Each structure stands twice: as structure tokens, then as C-alpha cells.
Amino acid sequence: MVRPNFTKADSVMDTYLSLQDSIYKVWTVMINDDNQKISAMHNLLHELKLTNAEEQETIRSFEERLSQLSELRYTQKSMMEADVVGEYDFASNSMVTELTSLAEARTEFSYNTTLQKLVNDILAADQRVENYRAQYDLIATRFNEFLEKNKSILSDSGENKATEKKPLFQTTSETENP
């Protein structure tokens, strides 16, 4: 039986691809959860629109801000730009706080299970953000360390993007000084 030669370069590339796949998976889960939070906010606005005709202008303003929120969201590439994540977080946190407060202030909130469920869904998704980011940072840090350690082998592979480090949500100084 002829056994193929599995080189160190093959092993490095296998690990590289595995780490890339892990980053993709955790990023996708995080973004999908954020999409669900935004969808729940849209649904909450719809419910609020149906239950109170006097607040239509306020609700329209929230709808505009919510559509802008989706446009503000960061990507792995845009995270490298100054404070893109911070701007998104500020806009998202403001929307969550103001929208859930508006719903909870309604007299029908105490008995309207749809409003209660939507508010709970939004708040739960908002609380998961830090956990998802920590998972992403953990894998991205491993990936970046792997790149540093195997830079020469990956550069020799001919893939230009192979040695690009992934941006992190937390800077090194924040990570070192909890």
C-alpha cells in the first residue's frame, strides 16, 4: 500500500483551514443571533403600532433608526476601522433600551404576552452579545497566534490572504487587564 506523503505544510494548512472554519461558524452564529434581535425589534414595533394610534410618529422614528442599525453593523473587515463596533453598540443599546422601555410602559404590557415575549427575546439576545464576542475573540486569538507561529509556511503556500490576522472585539490591553 502506497502511503501519501503528508508534510508539515499539509498539517499547517489543515489546522489553518480548521481554525478558519471555526471562526466562520462562531461569527455566523453571532450575526444570526443579532439578526434575530433586530427582527424581534421590528416585530415589537409592529405590535406597538397596532396597539396605539397616538404614537405612530414615534414608532416611525424607531423604524428609521432600526433600518439604519442594520446598515451600521460591523463586519470582520470593517472592525479594523476606528470605533465601528462602538458606534454600532451605542446605536443598538439605545434602541434596545428605548424600545423595551416604551413597550414596558404600556398598560397592556402586563397582560399582552406577545409584547412580553418580544421584549424578553430582545433582552436575552442583547445579553448574549458579549458571550458570542468572547467566543469569537478566543478563536481569532488562537488563529492569530497560529499565523504568527507558521507565517513562513503559510506565505510559501502562495495564498496572500493566508497571513492576515483577524481583528478582535477587545484590544490586547483590555484582555490583559480585566
Question: Model confidence over 82-91: pLDDT tens digits?
Answer: 789 999 999 9
pLDDT at 130: 93
What is the distance between the alpha carbons of residues 85 and 82, in angstroms, rounded to a whole number? Answer: 8
**Alpha helices (H) along 52-112:** 56-72, 84-105
pLDDT (tens digit, 9 = 90+) per residue, 127-143?
Answer: 999 999 999 999 999 99
Query: Quick check: is 48 in a domain?
Result: yes
Q: How many domains does the chain have?
A: 1
Q: Classify residue 160: in a domain, yes or no.
A: yes
- Give the pLDDT confidence score for residue 157 in this predicted structure: 63
Residues of the chain where predicted confidence (pLDDT) is lower than 70? 1-4, 53, 157-162, 171-178
* 36 is a domain residue: yes
For position 177, what pLDDT does the model report?
A: 41
Return the residue matching grid coordinates 434596545: 96
| Predicted local confidence at residue 172, as pLDDT | 39
Distance CA 137, CA 139 (A): 6
Q: How crowded is residue 161: how many other Cβ atoms within 10 Å of its Cβ?
A: 6
> Which pLDDT value is given to residue 178?
42
CA 55 to chain centre: 31
**Whole-angstrom distance, CA of residue 92 vs CA of residue 55:** 21
Determine, yes or no, domain membership for 10: no
